[in-house]
Amino acid sequence: MNKQTNFDLVLFGATGDLAMRKLIPNLYQAHAAGLLNPEGRILGVSRSKLDTAGFLRQIESDAKVHIKKNFSEEMWNSFLKRIQYLTVDVTHRADFDKLAELVKARKNTENVIVYLSTAPTFFTQACANLAAVGLNGKNVRVVLEKPLGTDLKSSQKINADVAEHFEESQVYRIDHYLGKESLQNLIPLRFANVFFEPVWNKDFIKSVQITIAEQLGVEERAEFYDATGALRDMVQNHMLQMLCFVAMERPKSLAGDDMRDAKMKVLKALKPLSPADIDVNVIRAQYTAAEGHAGYLEEHNVPADSRTETYVAIKAEIENERWQGVPFYLRTGKRLAAKTAEIVLNFREDLDDLFPNTPNRLIVNMQPRETVSTCVFIKEPGSSMNAMPVEMVIDLAHAVEGRRAEAYELLLREVIDGRLSRFNRRDELEAAWEWVMPIMEHWAKSPVAPHQYAAGSWGPQAARDLLAKDNNAWLEDQ
């Protein structure tokens, strides 16, 4: 007997970049691992006038190259049998009749997933047209790809429009960082190990750093990126989710709404930033030409007078019993010295004067290494009682046997199984927008130009100064 959930996955934006680079390759991985119901069907839809054979040819040329593991021609061919294609223009109601006909012609439609991998401007109309043809019943889940709006107002509007046709329990808002095992790992790390949670607070922790650094520049996405910037692209979503995982109280349970309630409380406790705070505690910057890379302002399709930030660093504070007074330093940027996503907990070093100056550290590296490492002090060999630092490392990728799925594969499987906890709830998303809005508004008015940093460096001097003022330093300077 097969226990896997049967499904019809309707993939809007099927010929787009995300579908080709991530969604289709990750569906293949789930298929190859035997984790998809054999009857499960993938229906690619987009405006492109293709038939199924034409779509399969495109997948062959654009998606297959992104499958780096577990590939076999035989498996690939069996995967392709799940796929069909239909031309649908989101703005054409008649196209949705055809779509509904095709979906309903299935014997088994108890689980229909509509994945909107399109620009958010299409979400409203797509949902209205789905509802108009009856594709919004209890058996339908709708997946909304990031970015969900460009500010609080547009995000509220999309959420309200979607809510006219779908219950909140049918809506899966993607933040692919929530699909990363190394982020989810923080929950058992904290709550299943007796020696972490008791020190996970202001009495023991001096500061927290959260970094997402990328080596790539804006590549061919300049048009999107210049209208977006690092704050909207990375902080409003991925970085605030990482912060929530570090800072949340023990959730009542691990189920959908309890986890989301715990994260929501963190977002609500974030200290709002006034214009004066922003001037002092938020740094925006752009990369300049170095190491053979063009500067941001020289990139193709970037206006020469653009003020869009390719880097942002923020000192955030959480106003609650656990974290009062502990700075949370967030930073992210393009064209930095390394590609990494990392959380660093710096513990207080003033707790015992027998060994002053022994700063313990816990580093959770989410990528590229997926490790949890602690800096602990041991006795220096010899006649002295000096303490010296050593690193204890848990390598998550090798600590346990078995395949580690990529974020999108895990998330797609969660949607198929109808589990909501790794997706953003409406209030959570809006609370995150609420917190970043004052920064966006202040920057729009500010006469002060972004700072600069050389491509390939660790960011602007101003970000180093931000920590130095508090007697702290970014990990690479510690």
Residue numbering of the annotated binding site? 47, 89-90, 146, 176, 180, 214, 233, 334, 339
Rounded least distance, CB 367 to ligand BG6, Å: 6
The correct pick among 8, 95, 233, 317 for binding ligand BG6 (CB under 6 A) is 233
238 is catalytic: yes
Cβ contacts of 50 within 8 Å, gap of 6 or more: 15, 58, 85, 87
Closer residue to ligand BG6 (CB): 140 or 143: 143
Closer residue to ligand BG6 (CB): 40 or 229: 229
193, β-bridge pairs: none
Q: Which residues belong to the annotated binding site for substrate?
A: 176, 180, 214, 233, 334, 339
Considering only residues 138 through 157, tell me which ones interact with ligand BG6, judged by CB under 6 A. Answer: 146
The correct pick among 95, 214, 277, 430 for binding ligand BG6 (CB under 6 A) is 214
For residues 269 and 262, give the distance between their C-alpha atoms in angstroms, rounded to a whole number.
11
Q: Hunting for tokens 């002090």 — which residue is that?
A: 377
- Retrieve residue 21's tokens: 């680079």
Closer residue to ligand BG6 (CB): 8 or 406: 406
Asked if residue 339 lies in contact with residue 215, where contact means CB atoms within 8 angstroms, the answer is yes
Q: What is the SS3 assignment for 320?
A: coil
Closer residue to ligand BG6 (CB): 135 or 218: 218
> Smallest Cα–Cα separation from 327: which of 439, 236, 433, 202?
202
Rounded least distance, CB 214 to ligand BG6, Å: 6
> Smallest Cα–Cα separation from 125: which of 151, 171, 157, 150?
157
What is the enclosing helix (H) or strand (E) of 429?
A: helix 426-445
Closer residue to ligand BG6 (CB): 145 or 277: 145
**Residues 31, 165, 238, 442: which is the catalytic one?**
238
Rounded least distance, CB 266 to ligand BG6, Å: 20
Question: Do you know the residue count of the chain?
Answer: 478
Compute and round to an integer the Cα radius of gyration of the chain: 24
Q: How many CA atoms lie within 13 A of 36 on its CB side?
A: 24
Number of residues this chain uses to bind ligand BG6 (CB under 6 A):
4
Asked if residue 212 lies in contact with residue 176, where contact means CB atoms within 8 angstroms, the answer is no
Considering only residues 310 through 369, tell me which ones interact with ligand BG6, judged by CB under 6 A. Answer: 341
Rounded least distance, CB 246 to ligand BG6, Å: 17
362, β-bridge pairs: 345, 374
Helices (H), 121-249: 123-132, 152-163, 181-184, 186-191, 222-226, 229-230, 240-247
> Sign of dihedral through CA atoms 161, 162, 164, 168?
negative
Closer residue to ligand BG6 (CB): 110 or 219: 219
**Is residue 409 near ligand BG6 by the rule CB under 6 A?**
no
For residues 450 and 443, give the distance between their C-alpha atoms in angstroms, rounded to a whole number.
9
Q: Hunting for tokens 């043809």 — which residue is that?
A: 133
* Contact residues: ligand BG6, CB under 6 A: 146, 214, 233, 341
Q: What residues act catalytically?
A: 238
